[in-house]
Structure 1
């Protein structure tokens, strides 16, 4: 069974200064992407968004045509 980690801040209450200090420590642990990784991931996301938008457009157009045929 996992034991929750205690930082001692639960006993003192909330402090903005300690929150900002802990945030800074945690951000130093982050592995930030390189410029090349960032560009590659951005391109992948843009392609995925365009494909999803195109798929929704095609499905919407098909339904529109079907409903027009049914209502005529």
Structure 2
């Protein structure tokens, strides 16, 4: 059992060595893009919510 765990961890280490890790610049750029898109979606959903809630209040007369 211990031997299988050690063998597994060796394979994991080998596979991690094959991974192409992003540079700091790439990671920063991707993070900024995600944050900007999340903010855009938040504003869009806020506007849709405001529009729909105003419409429903108008329809219900209140």
| TM-score category, normalised to shorter length | 0.7 to 0.9
Query: What's the TM-score, normalizing by structure 2?
Result: 0.83
Q: In the alignment, which residue of structure 1 is the partner of 2:55?
A: 66
Q: Which sections of structure 1, spanning at least 5 residues, go unmatched? A: 1-14
Give me the TM-score of the superposition, normalised by structure 1: 0.73
Larger helix proportion of the pair: 2
RMSD across aligned C-alpha pairs, in angstroms? Answer: 1.0
Q: Secondary structure at the match of 1:32?
A: coil
1:42 paired with 2:37, answer no
Q: Which runs of 5+ in 2 are unaligned?
A: none
C-alpha distance in 2, partners of 1:69/1:41? 42
- Report Cα offsets for 1:5-37 as digits up to 9, x if no partner: xxxxxxxxxx32222221111111111111111
- 1:56 is aligned to 45
Counting matched residue pairs gives 58
Provide runs of 4+ in structure 1 moved above 4 Å: none
